[in-house]
Amino acid sequence: MANTKELQDLTTQVRRDILRMVHKVNSGHPGGSLGCAEFLVALYNEIMDRKDGFDMDGLNEDLFFLSNGHISPVFYSVLAHAGYFPVEELNTFRLIDSRLQGHPTTHEGLPGVRIASGSLGQGMSVALGAAQAKKLNGDKSLVYTLHGDGELQEGQNWEAIMYASAKKVDNLICTIDLNGQQIDGSTDTVLPMGSIEAKFVAFDWEVITIEKGNDIDAILKGMAEAKALTGKGKPVCVLLKTVMGNGVDFMMYTHAWHGKAPSDEQLENALAQNPATLGDY
Amino acid sequence: MKTYTYTEKKDTRSGFGAGLAELGRTNPNVVALCADLIGSLKMDEFIKENPERFFQIGIAEANMMGIAAGLTIGGKIPFTGTFANFSTGRVYDQIRQSIAYSDKNVKICASHAGLTLGEDGATHQILEDIGLMKMLPGMTVINTCDYNQTKAATIAIAEYEGPVYLRFGRPSVPIFTPADQKFEIGKAVQLTEGADVTIVATGHLVWEALEASKALYEKGITAEVINIHTIKPLDAKAIIDSVTKTGCIVTAEEHNILGGLGESVARVLATNKPAPQEFVGTKDTFGESGTPAQLMDKYGLNAEAIIKACETVIKRK
């Protein structure tokens, strides 16, 4: 079991990876990636019960599906540090002939990725299928997902949310990255969604809110509570309140870095705020 | 000339239902999903025998395609069932990203394809689905012609690893293929031999092509009728070999001539064996309400239209 300091150090390194990856190709989505760094580091290194190696079926291990595929930089960095593929391969992000496509895919055979995502709103349905397959297989492990809050504007999510409770898919923990931002602005200016918590409750889900979504201890505590609610007949939703662009002062609290890479000087500034902990790739 | 007869008519969707029921008994990994059209898809028998392997999704086709993709992760072989329109156009992006691009072993089974859906009208009569599906990299596209072939195809696609679109329909049509046929994906079936014209047909138009060949024979024209049940991958060799002999071709399908079988055949011929071709299909139009027979007549999807197309194409040689 890793301690908080180790997870924090890994998060800082993941943050450096994200910044360097998007800077190198002058494209990608740093904001949401930075905001979810603590969560994905904690998920892959502490929360999920994973097997060594990778196979597509993922029998008898916890599975994770990234629905908001544009935060691929954080996903790739966390997968690499978790041992699915060499960390040096992060150097190929978004380059021709790379397994690290702009949005995650199974198509290039990258270990750790079980579904393509990027076109939003599809991940929860896929997770439901994987969760129901686990039940058919007598497999007691869990399925985790991550979704953007803006992504909930896609209608397919609500088909999935309705189905999950109706069919008692209780081996599923869906986390919503509640950063309040999307590409065109804040979610409240683009399309106000009201209370997301009330909506999930109305759809008969268990809902856990993690107020400090960029705090490792708070994430571990909240996810332990979420896990304790599984297996009781209801799907579980975690509302993870994060700050988009977390850890880089000029990227925080704005949608401006949703899909924009830093300049050379901005990268230098951002990296200075996150000194290397495990060594750069 | 070899002639075909039939003693019984049945809907192709019932062939799907029978094939699925058999898979339920023989392949424990096969699971079925439906979006509130169990009766229309003839899935009752599978469901009765394997309730734990059936997923009623409700009227939510996008969710159904995603769940099907997810079920493959865990080793299941999902068969989704709804109308062709809701199996393709409504969920194109879900199929594209979560199934085709993700290379998931999902069998998209689509009933009520084309005009023969009948009275419900154009909202439900998709004539673009073959085009939509054949454009997806890695997608296999099958359109069967009768009950026996649909049953055989349903069973065969469970053994094939990869995404498949299986298209069938609602009306009762003659059963003329053998009950014990071996269904080979991508392998054309030559039904008659002829020297004057090749007729390549798919789905409900295969029987019409046989009827046309009989009438043409009486006029002294021999037609080689080929049943193309698999539009992708297309059996290019069978088409090229036949056209090498006959020198011209008619394609026939219950689908828009834009994007359908005819265009795939034209590409094969243009790059290998250029030859005059006539297209029997709908001419870039939506359908309308009516009985299946009325609609097939009005939109020129019958033996008579195939005969005319053959006579025209032979003159162009």
Instruction: Say what the pLDDT of residue A191 is.
Output: 98
CB-nearest to B76 from A63, A133, A167 is A133
A64, part of any domain: yes
A2, pLDDT greater than 80: no
Domain spans in chain B, listed from the N-terminal domain onward: 9-174, 189-315
Q: pLDDT tens-digit profile of A88-135?
A: 999 999 999 999 999 999 999 999 999 999 999 999 999 999 999 999
pLDDT at residue A3 in the model: 87
What's the whole-number mean pLDDT along residues B259-269?
A: 98
Position A277 in a domain: no
Largest CA distance in chain A: 53
Rounded distance between C-alpha atoms, residue B314 and residue A150, angstroms? 60
Specify if A200 maps to a domain.
Answer: yes
Q: What is the pLDDT of residue B1?
A: 83
CATH of the domain at A184: 3.40.50.970
Asked if A126's CB is within 8 angstroms of B66's CB, the reply is yes
CA gap B317, B305 in Å, rounded: 19
Average pLDDT value for residue range B168-177 = 98
Length of chain A: 281
Q: What is the mean pLDDT of chain B?
A: 98
Pairing of strands B197-201, B9-11: unpaired
Whether the CB-CB separation of B140 and B163 falls below 8 Å is answered with yes
pLDDT exceeds cutoff 80 at A1: no
Look up the ipTM and state it: 0.96
Q: How far apart are CA B41 and CA B43, in angstroms?
A: 5
Cis, peptide link before residue B233, omega less than 30° from 0: yes
Q: How many other C-beta atoms can be found within 10 angstroms of the C-beta atom of residue A184? A: 12
Mapped onto helix, strand or coil, the DSSP state of residue A185 is: strand
Strands A181-182 and A185-186, bridge-based pairing: antiparallel
Asked: is B9-174 a CATH 2.40.10.10 domain? The reply is no
Residues on chain B touching A129 (C-beta within 8 angstroms): 66-73, 78
Provide the edge-to-edge strand list for the sheet that holds A143-148. A63-66, A143-148, A172-178, A236-241, A206-210
Q: Which residues of A touch B97 (CB under 8 A)?
A: 116-119, 122
Mean pLDDT of all residues in A48-73:
97
Task: Provide the number of structural domains found in chain A.
Answer: 1
Q: Which of A56, A122, A134 sits opposite B98 (nearest CB)?
A: A122
Residues A238 and A8: beta-carbon distance below 8 Å: no
Domain range for A102 is 4-272
The CATH code that applies to domain B189-315 is 3.40.50.920
The answer to whether the Cβ–Cβ distance between B73 and A106 falls below 8 Å is no
Kindly report, residue by residue over A13-25, the tens digit of the pLDDT: 999 999 999 999 9
CA atoms within 13 A on the CB side of A131: 30
Of A89, A18, A7, A94, the closest CA to residue A45 belongs to A7
- For residues A84 and A111, give the distance between their C-alpha atoms in angstroms, rounded to a whole number: 6
Task: Check if B61 is active-site.
Answer: yes
Q: Is A245 left (phi over 0), alpha (psi -120 to 50) or beta?
A: left
pLDDT in tens, B273-287: 999 999 999 999 999
Q: How many residues does chain B have?
A: 317
One fold for B9-174 and B189-315: yes
